[in-house]
Amino acid sequence: MHAVPKRQLSVWHAMSVCVGMVIGAGIFSTTPVAAANVSTSTGLLLAWAFGGAMSLAGALCFAEMAAAFPDAGGDYFFLYKAYGPRLGFLFAWSRFAVIHTGSMAMLAYVFGDYLGQVIHLGPNGSAIYAALIVMLLVGVNLAGIRFGIHTQVVLMSVVLFGLLSVGAAGLWISLQGMPPLHAAYAPGAVPVTHWGTALVFIFLAYGGWSDAATLSAEMRDSEQGIKRALLLGMSVVTALYLLVNWALLRGLGLAGLAVTGAPAAELMLRAFGKPGQLLIVTVVALTSITVLNALLIAGARTTYAAARDTVTLQGLGRWHVVRGTPPAAILAIGVVALLLVGFGAYTRQGFATMVDYLSPVYWFFLALSGGAFFILRRRFPAARRPYRVPFYPVMPLAFMCGSIYVLYSSLAHVKVGAVTGVVVMLAGVLLLLPMRFVTPPAG
């Protein structure tokens, strides 16, 4: 009989993972691209508000499913119950080989890029730093869930401080009466609005909230805990994203924001000089660590749950009772992330390659999760649901349709990285052929 996760996590711990999964270097990297694809500052802020609203709708759907079917696998478990073991395994494989590990490699490169500005290691410095941070965090999480979770709480506090500092910079510039660096586009240079492209990058910055559902089986409050964690987490994220975008628009202007490669660093330099710039570079590096740590916490639990339900992968489905972790799953994810760091080094476009690699696969399965919500409602009407999503069926339907639209947009601008990610996902179909499955614990 398998050892199962203990209910040892508070709402604050799970909310920290949720915020840590969402807020990351993505907000500093995606905002310029989003700004370049809208024509007004108001349009940019509305797009970010819409992204927050849609993510909250998804979080509420996941809150109902996680409360009704708590399991360490999170959305893997929902897909398993809705579509059967084979699609559940394909998702677990895709998360293992594409979504989580691709996100880890992407953020490891952000860490390496920023640290490389301070300590140069040559042309491969970013890849070296990326590999080192992945190995370090694997070691941290092997030390046990409490060590990993408490690390997450500390790092999240640093991230929040950094985002509030960016907001303070915008406020300081406003109080000083300083005009934006580029108040308006030059005549004839106003970009055409491409909402699809803008939303792909905005939703990427919001991505990750669903992974907090993997902690549903470890919540002390088994009924309302995961709902409160997701609601609080996404409310904090949306407010901070709007604050940061307002500050960037106030200091740089829409035109300036659209062309800069490091908007937060440029804003902090203008407001507070070199010390401010150094501060935000440090925070961005630590932000990358925060999300990497959260990805490892949540991703290992999905891998553990899928292996637990697959006869041929039982070695990965072991839970260390004393440390409260799935050690084999953590090690496996770390190895794949390191391989993807190598792939990014080979293409010499580490961050961009990883964004292309994971986006279509990520949104494909989120759309399926939206469908799973309706299937589980119909198939298990007697299941105890301590929390029910409001405005049913409008809210879950809006979430599913939004996911399909972003999936289409990510494929409309397909690149080599996206093709590779889809191919790796489809390779999971070949792995399905010899698989034998067991019935997972009742959720």
Q: How far apart are the first and last CA of the chain?
A: 16
> Which residues, including other chains, have CB under 8 Å from residue 214's CB and lie 6 or more apart?
72, 73, 74, 75, 298, 301, 302, 305
| CB-count exposure of residue 55 (10 Å: 0-12, 13-18, 19+) | buried
Residue type, 293: N
> Which residues, including other chains, have CB under 8 Å from residue 78's CB and lie 6 or more apart?
62, 65, 69, 369, 372, 373, 376
Which residue ranges form the domains of the chain, and what is each CATH number? 11-432 (1.20.1740.10)
Digits of tens for pLDDT over the chain (443 positions)? 455 566 777 888 778 777 877 777 778 778 888 898 898 899 999 999 999 989 888 888 888 888 788 776 678 788 989 998 888 888 878 888 898 899 889 888 888 877 776 777 878 888 899 999 999 888 888 876 554 556 656 767 787 888 999 999 999 999 988 888 776 555 555 566 788 888 888 988 888 777 666 666 677 876 677 778 878 888 889 999 999 999 999 999 998 898 887 788 889 989 999 899 889 888 888 878 877 887 787 777 767 776 666 655 555 556 655 566 678 888 888 899 999 999 988 887 777 788 788 889 999 999 999 999 999 999 999 888 887 888 889 999 999 999 999 888 888 766 778 888 889 998 887 776 665 555 554 44
Alpha-carbon separation of residue 428 from 58, 76, 101, 331 (angstroms) = 26, 15, 15, 20
Alpha-carbon separation of residue 337 from 66, 76, 378 (angstroms) = 27, 20, 38
Q: Which of 8, 88, 141 is closest to 303 using CA atoms?
A: 88
The whole model's pTM is what? 0.80
> Which residues, including other chains, have CB under 8 Å from residue 16's CB and lie 6 or more apart?
149, 152, 153, 156
The single residue listed with the structure tokens 């910079």 is 169
Q: What pairs with residue 437 in β-bridges?
A: 310
